[in-house]
Amino acid sequence: MQNALWLYKELQEANLLTRSISDNELNDLGQSITDGTNTRVPDTRNRTQFILTTVDNYFQQKELIAKNDINYCTRLNDILFFDFNNVRLSGTEKFIRFTPAIQRNSQESGSNNLADKYK
């Protein structure tokens, strides 16, 4: 939701929107951003295009964009990919931690005809 609000304010300040949006539309915008970012696309470049296309389709369907130019595209890209929010990843993240340690192991053995001795 924070991305949607930030995106909306940035586009509004740049006079790239035709009108203001309601709270429900802002929630729907946040949902379209979430749908785009949570859909698994293996290739990074294709994933970027998918997210931008998903959000742009929302703006086009609601007829919110006044002018679809380079300013709109760069602001959309910057807000969606260079914000300071934590990235939500799909799948599993595994971490391995190694703790260095020094260990001494000594083994001695001896034998004579009567008994074996292990230490």
* Structural domain boundaries enclosing 30: 2-81
- Is 117 domain-assigned? no
Which residues of the chain carry a pLDDT beneath 50? Answer: none
The answer to whether residue 39 sits within a structural domain is yes
| Amino acid 99: pLDDT | 82
Q: Which residues pair with 109 in a beta bridge?
A: 118
The reported pLDDT for the residue numbered 23 is: 84
Is residue 95 in a domain? no
Predicted local distance difference test score (pLDDT) of residue 86 = 57
The Cα 46–Cα 75 span in angstroms is: 19
Q: Which residue has the tokens 């931690």?
A: 97
Is position 20 within any domain?
A: yes
Q: Are 7 and 53 in contact (CB under 8 A)?
A: no
Overall domain count for the chain: 1
The reply to whether 77 falls in a domain is: yes
Question: Would you give the DSSP letter of residue 19?
Answer: S
pLDDT at 17: 82
Whole-number pLDDT of residue 10:
77
Q: Which two tokens stand for residue 58?
A: 């929302």
